[in-house]
Chain A
């Protein structure tokens, strides 16, 4: 079984200048190691929609690699997005699914069907390729080559769940984090600082 920390370190090592769209527990680890914060989005206020946002960025910037660090519970809520991604076929999108079989953020309750094999679902939907890794070494050895292939590719990682018991940080400051990140990413991708304040947080 792979740990979140190791998975994020391995992905980050091959990241280059890719955009990352993360959600749930992996956001915490990704933020600790990322050296490109202006290319990172942590989806903290858009339940289950990491894959859809990543698709939009991938379609809008086809020359830029987009890494989506999704979660099994999140993807189950937005499973149709696999068909949407496959239908559009973005060659620059790599969709990681951290599969721990639980809702970690809410304390570790099991997802409705912990045995779902997301790599198989993606394959059936029409992703270019899909993989399932259960150990760190095999994942580490194979990822660089996978990232050289054409997307959309789904990489399912069987990870050790880390149930949280201390709740979710809901303050005005914490909720302003995502809108600020989004503006930084748009500025980085377009070279224009043209998206002003809006919404309740900034």
Chain B
């Protein structure tokens, strides 16, 4: 990837500000440093799932119990999670912020990775609104994503268009 620097700590600060309780995730290569940083954040419980299709229903159950979860999965796994998105997010009006790893994304728009090529058309197909975040400069969009999900009672996607930076990288 050739995009800006995105520090996990800065995203975690945003999640803490939103009072996120659980981070339901299946790690991928782009978010490896995020996963490590989250383990050091005591206010957020990480819930690892075995397959991306579990992430939305686990988050739905947490929401029913009064918690404030988010999910984080890669675009390829987001496609696998399609039926859960249909029935257990869009179908029930679940206000869920979904962080989607935008594997293969670059600003030139020329990618050999079909996982990237299909992501935005796929979000449009499901009528899921989204922002793309490519660096720390874009983080002001994170609270907007929570606002939009809550205001519409619908899932809202935040596509992570760069690899999370390793700790210490500036």
- The number of A-B residue pairs with CB atoms under 8 Å apart is 133
Residues of B within 8 A of A198 (CB): 92-95, 152-154
Contact string, B86-106, partner A, CB cutoff 8 A, digits 1/0? Answer: 011011111100000000000
Q: How far is the CA of A60 from the CA of B95 in the complex (A)?
A: 16
Q: How far is the CA of A196 from the CA of B151 in the complex (A)?
A: 10
Interface residue tally for chain B (C-beta within 8 Å)? 35
Given contacts A46-B87, A84-B49, A186-B66, contact A179 B57 (CB under 8 A): no
B75 CB, min distance to chain A CBs, angstroms: 19
Q: Contact check, B61 vs A59: say whether CB atoms are below 8 A apart.
A: yes
Residues of A within 8 A of B84 (CB): 46, 49
Contact among A179, A189, A197 with B66 in the assembled complex (CB-CB below 8 Å): A189
A4 CB, min distance to chain B CBs, angstroms: 23
Contact string, A50-79, partner B, CB cutoff 8 A, digits 1/0? Answer: 001111111111001000000000000010
B78 CB, min distance to chain A CBs, angstroms: 16
Contact string, A123-159, partner B, CB cutoff 8 A, digits 1/0? Answer: 0000000000000000000000000000000000000
Docked complex: A76-104 residues within 8 A CB-CB of B: 78, 80-81, 83-84, 87-88
Q: Contact check, B58 vs A53: say whether CB atoms are below 8 A apart.
A: yes
Given contacts A49-B57, A196-B153, A197-B153, contact A60 B91 (CB under 8 A): no
Which DSSP category, helix, strand, loop or mixed, fits chain A's interface? helix
Question: Which of A84, A201, A202 has the most chain B CB atoms inside 10 A of its CB?
Answer: A84
Residues of B within 8 A of A195 (CB): 93, 153
Q: Contact check, A54 vs B61: say whether CB atoms are below 8 A apart.
A: yes
Q: Contact check, A87 vs B48: say whether CB atoms are below 8 A apart.
A: yes
A86 CB, min distance to chain B CBs, angstroms: 10
Interface residue tally for chain A (C-beta within 8 Å)? 41
Q: How far is the CA of A148 from the CA of B105 in the complex (A)?
A: 51
Q: How far is the CA of A198 from the CA of B88 in the complex (A)?
A: 12
Given contacts A46-B88, A195-B153, contact A185 B48 (CB under 8 A): no
Given contacts A59-B45, A199-B92, contact A81 B61 (CB under 8 A): no
Contact string, B39-70, partner A, CB cutoff 8 A, digits 1/0? Answer: 00000010111110110011111111111010
Residues of B within 8 A of A1 (CB): none
Residues of B within 8 A of A196 (CB): 93, 153
Contact of A200 with B by CB under 8 A: yes
Q: Which 5 A-B pairs have the closest CB atoms?
A: A198-B93, A56-B61, A60-B65, A198-B153, A80-B50
Residues of A within 8 A of B (CB): 21, 41, 45-47, 49, 52-61, 64, 78, 80-81, 83-84, 87-88, 175, 178-179, 182, 185-186, 189-190, 192, 195-202
Other A-B pairs beyond A45-B87, A56-B59, A56-B60, 13, CB < 8 Å: A45-B91, A49-B54, A56-B69, A59-B58, A80-B51, A81-B50, A84-B47, A182-B64, A190-B66, A198-B93, A199-B91, A199-B93, A200-B90
